[in-house]
Amino acid sequence: MIAAFALAALLQQSPMPSVAPDGVFRSRGYGLVMVRAGQDIRVYHEAGGACWPDPDGEDLKDSFAAVVPVADGIGLTEAHDDQASIYVFDRLPALPPACEHPDSSDRAAVLAVSDLMQAYYPGFEARKIDFQARRREVLGRLSQTPAPSQAFAAAADLLSGLDDAHIELSAEIEGRAQDLQVSSGRTLDAVNARSEPRAERAWLGAWREGVLQTILDGEGHAVANNRVFWGVRDGVGYLAIVTMGGFDAEDAASTEALEAALDEAMVAFNGAKAVIVDVSNNRGGYDSVSRLIASRFADQPRVAYTKRGWGSGVAPQVVEVRPSDRPGYHGPVWLLTSDITVSAGETFSQMMTVLPNVTHAGTRTRGAFSDQSPVVLANGWRFAMPMELYADPQGHPLEGRGLTPQVRIDLYPEGDLDHGHAKAVKALMRRLSH
């Protein structure tokens, strides 16, 4: 996922971005080396003294398609989004020699995970992890030629206990798929601990039923590929968004169905006493979608947060929430979050909390804001991690901390996981209707 950002901190006033130049470039932060020749792009990862090619590098072409002016270096971004992420690169005379001779051993993969985390992970302080000590202990017992299962276990030990939704590690070891297990938060962990088959699917069915039948009394709308639920009851609007993407079953990035749904909902919300915006079951997606939805509630541009690549030395980029020119609602809004709310669900929540008409209620979000940076290791293992620090407009870090509501409402109580959400939201709706 590539998040979207306002460029105020780095950009000068300029015309549309120009085409990205050919050459060899090294990123500031992110551990990337890129070789571009016309439409062809090769991406390498650097960690410690190692360098290796990424077979999926072509997928990043759009993210580095255009050049924008920055204070120094070369700013590369998407070509058609004036709030897209900027990655600052420096030109190199040639491809670093290490990139020509990658080490594809499993031991090298463990070292790469360690070096990438050491250089670019922003969340150790918030999570109170002494990674230096952990690194010494794990690497100290790693043999020169570990068995694949031993190497994977060592990499997993490096990442254990971080409880970061944006850390992933997967591999095929001796013909079997191996995946690092990261907590999904209290609520989903409790759901998935149930003995029934497909426990989370059954729980989602109960959640949907609660929204449509209890909260909206059977008169709500489930639209945009069942990612958007909305309705109006007793003069109070309700809008639930469960992902920031996937609104079209054929095109996950398309927003056409979302925009149409929001247009209809916002017209219906006109004159409402209040609107409840529920992202308490939002699993994330595209930050550009978060920005689009938040714009329907904004009356003027406001700084929502900043972000910078960890260890990049680059000035933070500023993200704004800007008003939409399509139908919106600017009356009282209640934003609902929980420990399920994560990633683009959290960037949306942060955008909403800077609006003066919004009251934040529910429970604290997961604290996984950063874009997830994917890395294919030289031995074929797939690794992903956050490499950015997000901060609120006052400069307070958000990564690893999450957003704490002004009003606590336990939307998913342990004793009533299936129905507690609908009951709590219905009670809030009754309160707001009077």
Determine what percent of the chain is predicted with pLDDT higher than 70: 96
pLDDT number for residue 10: 33
State how beta strands 333-337 and 358-362 pair: parallel
pLDDT number for residue 69: 81
pLDDT number for residue 7: 30
* Residue 16 pLDDT class (50, 70, 90 cuts): very low
Query: Is residue 429 over pLDDT 90?
Result: yes
> How would you write 49-94 as a 3-class SS string?
CEEEECCCHHHHHHHHCEEECCCCCEEEECCCCCCECCEEEEEECC
pLDDT number for residue 97: 96
State how beta strands 358-362 and 407-408 pair: parallel
* Residue 64 pLDDT class (50, 70, 90 cuts): confident
Tokens 């907590």 label which residue?
183
Query: Is residue 2 over pLDDT 70?
Result: no
Determine what percent of the chain is predicted with pLDDT higher than 90: 82
pLDDT number for residue 12: 33
pLDDT number for residue 325: 97
- At 396-424, the pLDDT tens digits run 999 999 999 999 999 999 999 999 999 99
Q: Which of 10-14, 45-49, 154-158, 419-423 has the lowest mean pLDDT?
A: 10-14
- At 97-124, the pLDDT tens digits run 999 999 999 999 999 999 999 999 999 9
Spatial CB neighbours of 280, under 8 Å, sequence gap ≥ 6: 336, 337, 338, 340, 341, 362, 411, 412, 421
Give the number of residues written for the chain.
434
Mean model confidence pLDDT for the chain = 92
State how beta strands 23-27 and 32-37 pair: antiparallel
Query: Is residue 15 over pLDDT 50?
Result: no
pLDDT number for residue 78: 79
* Residue 374 pLDDT class (50, 70, 90 cuts): very high
The residue type of 109 is A
- At 41-58, the pLDDT tens digits run 899 999 999 999 999 877
Q: Which of 61-70, 177-186, 225-234 has the lowest mean pLDDT?
A: 61-70
* Residue 40 pLDDT class (50, 70, 90 cuts): confident
pLDDT number for residue 4: 31
Q: Which of 159-168, 233-242, 278-287 has the lowest mean pLDDT?
A: 159-168
Query: Is residue 8 over pLDDT 60?
Result: no
Strands, E assignment, 263-387? 274-278, 302-309, 317-321, 333-337, 358-362, 372-376, 382-386
Tokens of 205: 């069915």
**Looking at residues 367-386, what average pLDDT do you find?**
95
pLDDT number for residue 9: 33
Strand, coil or helix: 149: helix
Q: Which residue has the higher pLDDT, 92 or 81?
A: 92
State how far Cα 287 lies from the chain centre. 7
Q: Which CATH superfamily is 186-367+402-433 part of? A: 2-enoyl-CoA Hydratase; Chain A, domain 1 (3.90.226.10)
Query: Is residue 142 over pLDDT 90?
Result: yes
Tokens 């993407």 label which residue?
245
Strands, E assignment, 288-428? 302-309, 317-321, 333-337, 358-362, 372-376, 382-386, 388-391, 407-408
pLDDT number for residue 184: 84
pLDDT number for residue 312: 92
Domain spans of the chain?
18-100, 106-179, 186-367+402-433
